[in-house]
Amino acid sequence: MTDLLIRRLPDLSPYEPVWRAMQAFTDARTPETPDELWVVEHEPVFTLGQAGKWEHVLNPGAIPVIPVDRGGQVTYHGPGQIVAYPLIDLRRARLGVREYVQRIEQAVIDTLAEWNVLAARKEGAPGVYVNGAKIAALGIRVRRGCTFHGLAFNVDMDLEPFRRINPCGFQGLQVTQVLDLAGPSRLTDVETVLVAELARQFGLEAIPADPILTSGAGAASAGGANVTA
């Protein structure tokens, strides 16, 4: 079984250095580069995808808004949320973008099932929902057949910043989190299951690896495909 290197970043990492490091990793990788999964909890930030409209950023206050190179609209990252960045060579995995997205969604659905939480997809609005409320958002970029960006999974966080935006471009969209669904509050408990489910979906073996260093990462290059939710 091929390895999936798991890199857990320092707690409350700023967003932009991690984003730049993902770009640099993707630009530098070769067909022999092992796939990786970066797991992080970000400092508070709103990110606005390439299709994003500023009109959906209602009242950001002191929280920064960063336009980024994934597809789609605005979302929020902050403490108490697991952000997972699968860096996958889709050609080697023999996956199309649609199936890749569905496998990430399924990993979240199966993770929530560990605590008897029934989650589902929603037609036309990628991501994962519980009783119509969004618990996980998805935004990816594919460049040269390789993925970056990824998944934001609400566990035990202050949901108030979501009221400062139209989440994923949908006015009035409700959001929820694991803690409010009688699941565990500790991120590590949820993260352990999520990492195992993501590795299983991609047919890879999760191997712990050293955290990345995000300083001095390279800038983005042009081209690629975007998917978001």
Give the active site residues: 168
Q: DSSP readout, the chain?
A: --EEEEEEPPTTB-HHHHHHHHHHHHHH--TTSPEEEEEE-BPSEEEE-TT--GGGB---TTS-EEE-SSSS-EEEE-TTEEEEEEE-BHHHHT--HHHHHHHHHHHHHHHHHTTT---B--TTS-SEEETTEEEEEEEEEEETTEEEEEEEEESS---GGGGGB-GGG-TT--B--GGGGT----HHHHHHHHHHHHHHHTT-EEEEEPPP--TTPPPP-S--EEEE-
